[in-house]
Chains A and B, each alone.
Chain A
Amino acid sequence: MNAFPTSASADAERPAGHRTVTPSADPANPPMSAVGTARTRVEGPGKVTGSVRYAADEPMQDLAFGWVVTSTVTRGRIRDIDISAVEGMPGVLGVIDHRNAPRLNLEAGSFFGPDGGMHLLQNDEVPHSGRPIALVVAETMEQARSAAAALRVTYDEEPHDVNFSLEHPAARPATSFFGEDATVGDVDAELAASAVVVDERYRTPEEHGAAMEPHSATAWWEDERLQVIDSNQGPFLVAMTVATLFSLDPAQVRVRAPHVGGGFGSKSAGCGPQLVLAVMATTTLGRPVRVTLTRSQVFQTVSMRPATDQRVRIGADADGRLRAIDHASAFEVSELADYLENCTELSNTLYAASAIRTRRTAVPVDILPPYSVRGPGATPGSFALESAMDEVAERLRMDPLELRLRNEPTVGPVSGLPFSRRNLVACLREGARRFGWVTRDHRPRTRREGRLLVGTGMAATSFGAGALPSSASITAETDGTFTVAIGASDIGTGARTALSAVAAEALRVDPEQIRLLIADSDLGPAWSAGGSRGTTSWSWAITEAAAELRSQLGDATLPLTVSFDTTESLGELPPMERHSYSAVFSEVTVDPATGEVRVRRLLGMFAVGRVINPLLARSQLVGGMIMGLSMALHEEGVRDPATGRHVNADFAGYHIAAHADVPDIEADFVPDYEPGDPSGIKGVGEIGTVGTAAAIANAVWHATGLRQRTLPIRLDRVLEERVGAENSATRCDLR
Chain B
Amino acid sequence: MKEFAYHRPSQIREALTMVVGNEGAQYLGGGTNLVDLMKDGVEMPTRLVDVRHLPLDGVRAAPGGGLVIGATTTNSDAAAHPEVRRRYPALSQAVLAGASGQLRNMATVGGNLLQRTRCAYYADPSQPCNKRSPGSGCSAITGEHHNHAVLGWSDHCVATHPSDMAVALAAFDAVVRYETLDGTHEIPLSEFYLPVGATPQHETVLPSGALITAVSLPKSAVSPRSQYRKVRERASYAFANVSIAAALDVHEGTVRSARIALGGVASCPWRARVAESVLQDGAATADKFRAAADAELSAAKPLRDNGYKVTLARNLIEAVLTELAARTK
Same assembly: yes
Nearest CB in chain B: distance from A46 CB, A: 25
Partner of B142, one of A149, A451, A638, A642: A642
Q: Which residues of A contact B235 (CB under 8 A)?
A: 598, 658, 660-661
Binding site for A on B (CB under 8 A): 1-2, 41, 118, 120-121, 126-127, 139, 142-144, 146, 231, 233-238, 241, 286, 308, 311-312, 315-316, 318-319
Partner of A145, one of B1, B120, B233, B311: B1
| CA gap between A716 and B308 in the complex, in Å | 6
Nearest CB in chain A: distance from B18 CB, A: 25
Q: Which residues of B contact A633 (CB under 8 A)?
A: 234
Beyond the given A634-B233, A641-B142, please list 9 additional residue pairs across the A-B interface where CB-CB is below 8 A: A145-B1, A639-B144, A655-B234, A655-B238, A660-B235, A660-B237, A661-B235, A715-B241, A719-B308
| CA gap between A146 and B312 in the complex, in Å | 43
Cβ of A661 and Cβ of B234 under 8 Å apart? yes
Cβ of B234 and Cβ of A595 under 8 Å apart? no
10 pairs of A and B residues whose beta carbons are closest in the complex: A716-B308, A660-B235, A660-B236, A593-B315, A142-B1, A647-B144, A640-B143, A72-B126, A658-B236, A661-B235
Please, could you name 24 A-B residue pairs with CB atoms under 8 Å apart, sorted by A? A72-B127, A143-B1, A146-B2, A451-B319, A593-B315, A594-B231, A634-B233, A639-B144, A640-B139, A640-B144, A643-B139, A643-B143, A647-B144, A658-B236, A660-B236, A661-B234, A661-B235, A714-B233, A715-B233, A715-B312, A719-B308, A719-B311, A719-B315, A723-B318
A398 located at the interface, meaning its Cβ lies under 8 Å from any Cβ of chain B in the complex: no
| CA gap between A430 and B120 in the complex, in Å | 46
Residue of B nearest to A149 (CB): B41
Cβ of B233 and Cβ of A594 under 8 Å apart? no
Nearest CB in chain B: distance from A599 CB, A: 10
Q: Which residues of A contact B121 (CB under 8 A)?
A: 647
| CA gap between A596 and B233 in the complex, in Å | 8
A724 located at the interface, meaning its Cβ lies under 8 Å from any Cβ of chain B in the complex: yes
- Chain A contributes a number of interface residues (CB within 8 A of B) equal to 39
Q: Which residues of A contact B126 (CB under 8 A)?
A: 72
| CA gap between A228 and B142 in the complex, in Å | 45
Q: Contacts A642-B142, A716-B308 known; A660 to B234 CB distance under 8 Å? A: yes
The majority secondary structure among interface residues of chain B is loop
Cβ of A647 and Cβ of B312 under 8 Å apart? no
Residue of B nearest to A598 (CB): B235
Q: Which residues of B contact A719 (CB under 8 A)?
A: 308, 311-312, 315
Nearest CB in chain A: distance from B129 CB, A: 12
Residue with the greatest number of chain B CB neighbours at <10 A, chosen from A639, A652, A714: A652
Residue of A nearest to B229 (CB): A594
Residue of B nearest to A651 (CB): B237
A653 located at the interface, meaning its Cβ lies under 8 Å from any Cβ of chain B in the complex: yes
A659 located at the interface, meaning its Cβ lies under 8 Å from any Cβ of chain B in the complex: yes
| CA gap between A535 and B237 in the complex, in Å | 35
A107 located at the interface, meaning its Cβ lies under 8 Å from any Cβ of chain B in the complex: no
The majority secondary structure among interface residues of chain A is loop
Q: Which residues of A contact B120 (CB under 8 A)?
A: 647-648, 653
A621-662 CB contacts (< 8 Å) to partner B: 633-634, 638-643, 645, 647-648, 652-653, 655, 657-661
Q: Which residues of A contact B312 (CB under 8 A)?
A: 594-595, 715-716, 719
Q: Which residues of A contact B231 (CB under 8 A)?
A: 594-596, 715
Residue of A nearest to B304 (CB): A641
A721 located at the interface, meaning its Cβ lies under 8 Å from any Cβ of chain B in the complex: yes
Q: Contacts A143-B1, A146-B2, A594-B231 known; A723 to B315 CB distance under 8 Å? A: yes
| CA gap between A720 and B143 in the complex, in Å | 25
| CA gap between A652 and B315 in the complex, in Å | 26
Cβ of A721 and Cβ of B311 under 8 Å apart? yes
Residue with the greatest number of chain B CB neighbours at <10 A, chosen from A633, A643, A714: A643
Nearest CB in chain A: distance from B290 CB, A: 8
Partner of A642, one of B2, B143, B237: B143
Nearest CB in chain A: distance from B205 CB, A: 28
Nearest CB in chain B: distance from A113 CB, A: 32
Cβ of A638 and Cβ of B41 under 8 Å apart? no
Chain A 447-461 per-residue mask, 1 if CB under 8 angstroms from chain B, else 0: 000010000000000
| CA gap between A721 and B231 in the complex, in Å | 16
Partner of B233, one of A149, A593, A647, A655: A655
Q: Which residues of A contact B142 (CB under 8 A)?
A: 641-642
Nearest CB in chain B: distance from A437 CB, A: 25
Q: Which residues of A contact B311 (CB under 8 A)?
A: 719, 721
Q: Contacts A634-B233, A640-B143, A714-B233 known; A593 to B1 CB distance under 8 Å? A: no
Cβ of A647 and Cβ of B236 under 8 Å apart? no
Chain A 109-130 per-residue mask, 1 if CB under 8 angstroms from chain B, else 0: 0000000000000000000000
Q: Which residues of B contact A594 (CB under 8 A)?
A: 231, 312, 315-316, 319
| CA gap between A650 and B237 in the complex, in Å | 14
| CA gap between A598 and B312 in the complex, in Å | 17
| CA gap between A648 and B121 in the complex, in Å | 10
| CA gap between A240 and B118 in the complex, in Å | 43
Residue of A nearest to B318 (CB): A723
Q: Which residues of A contact B319 (CB under 8 A)?
A: 451, 593-594, 723
Residue of A nearest to B125 (CB): A149
Nearest CB in chain A: distance from B304 CB, A: 9
Cβ of B1 and Cβ of A641 under 8 Å apart? no
A699-734 CB contacts (< 8 Å) to partner B: 714-716, 719-721, 723-724
Q: Which residues of A contact B2 (CB under 8 A)?
A: 146
Q: Contacts A643-B143, A648-B120, A719-B315 known; A657 to B1 CB distance under 8 Å? A: no
A69-94 CB contacts (< 8 Å) to partner B: 72
Chain A 185-225 per-residue mask, 1 if CB under 8 angstroms from chain B, else 0: 00000000000000000000000000000000000000000
Q: Which residues of B contact A145 (CB under 8 A)?
A: 1
Nearest CB in chain B: distance from A4 CB, A: 34
| CA gap between A721 and B146 in the complex, in Å | 18
Residue of A nearest to B306 (CB): A716
Residue with the greatest number of chain B CB neighbours at <10 A, chosen from A594, A639, A715: A594
Q: Which residues of A contact B127 (CB under 8 A)?
A: 72, 643, 645
| CA gap between A543 and B143 in the complex, in Å | 56
Q: Which residues of B contact A641 (CB under 8 A)?
A: 142-144
| CA gap between A721 and B286 in the complex, in Å | 15
Q: Which residues of B contact A723 (CB under 8 A)?
A: 286, 315, 318-319
